[in-house]
Chains A and B, each alone.
Chain A
Amino acid sequence: MSGLRANLAVARGGFTLDADLDVAPGQVVGLLGPNGAGKSTALGALAGLVPLTRGRVVLDGTCLDDAGRTVVPVERRGVGMVFQDYLLFPHLSALDNVAFGLRSRGVGRREAACRAHAWLERVGLDDLAPARPRELSGGQAQRVALARALVTDPGLLLLDEPLAALDASTRLDVRADLRRHLGEFAGCTVLVTHDPLDAMSLADVLVVVESGRVVQRGTPPEIARAPRSQYAARLVGLNLYRGSSAGTRVALPGGGVLECADERQGEVFCALAPHAVTLHATRPQTSARNVWQGRVAGMEQHASTVRVVVRGEPDVLADVTAGTVADLGLGPGSPVWVRVEAREVHSYPV
């Protein structure tokens, strides 16, 4: 078991995916990115459903795809896949769905049923063995799909948005179960998601993909602390700027200057949390060195806070209380002063 080493290059129409993925046995790598970033294409290429234009896929020392030269077809790759809408065969019972992979690989009827039962029991659904997929709830269908993918003991497990089709209340339970099963799984796992919470809670390593390119990789805490793209920053809920730093002063190309906590030279990213931003009606009398004027461009209620989009130099997202919004009489177009303490602004090299 040496894990997965993949160098994926797929050109389709005007779109090209070019991404390297290394996954150690037992590790869960989360592919994170906006719609159309190429995440599903990457999974398809690993599964063998999408041919590689260039590059190679090596799983546990076996070359699965060498850009068309030595291609192991899908059905002989030993890859388990959970599709976004599960794709349970509608004409087969839950048990037969789970047993399908075993039967296809030549396991006898009785043994296949026995092993499928064991897996249904493992995901807590043994009593639903005779049920058809349309009789299953979303969470149950997801568990059956997982059992179907894992029963054949694949070296590589691919999960395509495994929780996206679930409603918020079942999602929590299913996520916890999925996390447990992934923890017990000895093979490599690649998980595709655009949900930051799924990514953070399920993956050991995150790979952020945008427009077919890897823009950042790191552990979830690393990415949460220091995102390297606007997309990643939005996911983890930070304001992100890029500029050139001299000492603690960072000049932003779009206008504006930020005073940071860290001393650096050259190109840097600056990140600051929306809740560290305060808004004022008049120029605040303060020792804070980051004070600038802007206009409210939008507001959105988030649980107990209001997220205010302020256009200025630079633009910034601020989380304030409903009380602040009322006191300042904020509305679209309102002029507003922005204040951020320098110690709340963190810079890191590009």
Chain B
Amino acid sequence: MWVPAAAALAFLVLPLAALGVRAPWRTLPQQLLRPEVGEALRLSLVTASLATVVCLVLGVPLAWVLARATFPGRRVLRALVTVPLVLPPVVGGVALLLLLGRRGLVGQYLDSWFGVTLPFTTTAVVIAEAFVAMPFLVITVEGALRGADRRFEDAAATLGASRLTIFRRVTLPLVAPGVTAGAVLCFARALGEFGATITFAGSFPGVTRTMPIAVYLALETDPEAAIVLSLVLLAVSVLVLVSLRDRWVAGAAT
């Protein structure tokens, strides 16, 4: 067992080591200060944050419904929610185009009634990222809600709290570690999103060219820049992982 385990570890770690070895450490500061890098990083952070907010606002209620409500078809609904998790992101991008594109099912009305066209805008980036990342949040929060002791909600009800008050003052604080973990996972997934974004939002510098897309494009023209951008993404991922671990430890302690 040890040999294949070591091979697996090498398989996972060596590519990252290669990234470190081939990085142009001497020119790193200049590379980092290049406007394209800063632009892509800023765009990525802003869109991933917005996508996380969208996922929180819509995903937490969805998780609540999945965890608490009993209605026919709940299992089907749950399966539907997890589809983006296993769907190739490119397919997600195509699907979003077909729905929200200029000629899309809903998109054509957005265009003709409101003059709104979503594809190839920053909004499209947020939508694509939220589409791909939301299941991570929903599944995590649903698990936390299922694990929470519902009798605390009974206790709150005997104290005169309405459903909304119970959710806001009891349920949500009890599952806060789960919500945080879900949001961090969601953010990490949104940050790395490539397939759905490039399909639905394209690659316009400063508008839709996020870090992963910038890495991919730079690899052909400017490999050094690609390595630098990859390092930045790696650093952000490690940061996310560390924060997640701390949250989970804190969550287990309360």
Residues of A at the B interface (CB closer than 8 Å) are 47-49, 73-81, 83, 87, 89-92, 100-101, 104-105, 148-149, 152, 158
Given contacts A49-B158, A90-B174, A104-B161, 15 further A-B pairs with CB under 8 A are A48-B158, A73-B157, A74-B154, A75-B160, A79-B158, A80-B158, A83-B154, A83-B155, A89-B155, A89-B156, A91-B174, A104-B156, A104-B162, A152-B159, A152-B160
Say yes or no: is B254 at the interface (Cβ < 8 Å to chain A).
Answer: yes
Of A76, A90, A104, the residue contacting B165 (CB under 8 A) is: A104
Say yes or no: is B20 at the interface (Cβ < 8 Å to chain A).
Answer: no
By a CB distance below 8 angstroms, the chain A residues around B165 are: 104
Say yes or no: is B169 at the interface (Cβ < 8 Å to chain A).
Answer: yes
Closest Cβ–Cβ distance, residue B43 to chain A (whole Å): 36
Cβ-closest chain B residue relative to A78: B160
By a CB distance below 8 angstroms, the chain A residues around B95 are: none
Q: Are A75 and B157 in contact (CB under 8 A)?
A: yes
Q: How far is the CA of A92 from the CA of B159 in the complex (A)?
A: 14
By a CB distance below 8 angstroms, the chain A residues around B157 are: 48-49, 73-75
Q: Are B158 and A81 in contact (CB under 8 A)?
A: yes
**Subset of 13 A-B contacts with CB under 8 Å:** A47-B154, A48-B157, A74-B157, A75-B159, A75-B162, A76-B160, A89-B155, A89-B173, A92-B173, A104-B156, A104-B161, A105-B160, A152-B160
Q: How far is the CA of A87 from the CA of B149 in the complex (A)?
A: 9
Q: How far is the CA of A148 from the CA of B156 in the complex (A)?
A: 10
Closest Cβ–Cβ distance, residue A74 to chain B (whole Å): 4
Say yes or no: is B152 at the interface (Cβ < 8 Å to chain A).
Answer: yes
By a CB distance below 8 angstroms, the chain B residues around A83 are: 151, 154-155
Cβ-closest chain B residue relative to A105: B160
Q: How far is the CA of A115 from the CA of B174 in the complex (A)?
A: 25
Say yes or no: is B90 at the interface (Cβ < 8 Å to chain A).
Answer: no
By a CB distance below 8 angstroms, the chain B residues around A104 are: 156, 159-162, 165
Q: Are B160 and A47 in contact (CB under 8 A)?
A: no
The prevalent SS among residues of B at the interface is helix
Q: Give the contact-size bracket for chain B.
A: 10 to 19
Q: Are B254 and A75 in contact (CB under 8 A)?
A: no
Closest Cβ–Cβ distance, residue A68 to chain B (whole Å): 18
Closest Cβ–Cβ distance, residue A143 to chain B (whole Å): 16
Point out which of B149, B151, B155, B169 has the most chain A C-beta atoms below 10 A from its C-beta: B155
Q: Are B173 and A91 in contact (CB under 8 A)?
A: yes
Of B154, B159, B170, B174, the residue contacting A101 (CB under 8 A) is: B159
By a CB distance below 8 angstroms, the chain A residues around B160 are: 75-76, 78, 101, 104-105, 152
Point out which of A48, A89, A148, A149 has the most chain B C-beta atoms below 10 A from its C-beta: A89
Of B149, B151, B161, B170, the residue contacting A75 (CB under 8 A) is: B161
Of B151, B156, B162, B254, the residue contacting A90 (CB under 8 A) is: B254
Point out which of B154, B159, B160, B162 has the most chain A C-beta atoms below 10 A from its C-beta: B159
Q: Are A74 and B254 in contact (CB under 8 A)?
A: no
By a CB distance below 8 angstroms, the chain A residues around B158 are: 47-49, 74-75, 77, 79-81, 149, 158
Per-residue interface assignment for chain B, residues 170 to 181, with 1 indicating a CB less than 8 Å from any chain A CB and 0 otherwise:
100110100000
Q: How far is the CA of A136 from the CA of B16 in the complex (A)?
A: 48
Given contacts A83-B151, A87-B151, A91-B173, contact A100 B254 (CB under 8 A): no
Of A48, A77, A81, A152, the residue contacting B155 (CB under 8 A) is: A81
Cβ-closest chain A residue relative to B158: A81
Closest Cβ–Cβ distance, residue A81 to chain B (whole Å): 4
In order of increasing CB-CB distance, the 10 nearest A-B pairs are A101-B159, A104-B161, A74-B157, A87-B155, A104-B160, A91-B173, A81-B158, A105-B160, A75-B157, A75-B160
Of B162, B169, B174, the residue contacting A100 (CB under 8 A) is: B169
Q: Are B152 and A89 in contact (CB under 8 A)?
A: yes
Cβ-closest chain B residue relative to A85: B151
By a CB distance below 8 angstroms, the chain B residues around A89 are: 152, 155-156, 169-170, 173
Closest Cβ–Cβ distance, residue A47 to chain B (whole Å): 5
Closest Cβ–Cβ distance, residue B135 to chain A (whole Å): 27
Cβ-closest chain A residue relative to B176: A91
Q: How far is the CA of A47 from the CA of B151 in the complex (A)?
A: 13
Q: How far is the CA of A107 from the CA of B159 in the complex (A)?
A: 13
Closest Cβ–Cβ distance, residue B195 to chain A (whole Å): 39
Cβ-closest chain B residue relative to A73: B157
By a CB distance below 8 angstroms, the chain A residues around B170 are: 89
By a CB distance below 8 angstroms, the chain A residues around B162 are: 75, 104
Of B149, B151, B155, B254, the residue contacting A91 (CB under 8 A) is: B254
Cβ-closest chain B residue relative to A44: B154
By a CB distance below 8 angstroms, the chain A residues around B151 are: 83, 87
Of A79, A100, A149, A152, the residue contacting B156 (CB under 8 A) is: A100
By a CB distance below 8 angstroms, the chain B residues around A105 are: 160
By a CB distance below 8 angstroms, the chain B residues around A79 are: 158
Q: How far is the CA of A90 from the CA of B170 in the complex (A)?
A: 9
Q: How far is the CA of A89 from the CA of B158 in the complex (A)?
A: 13
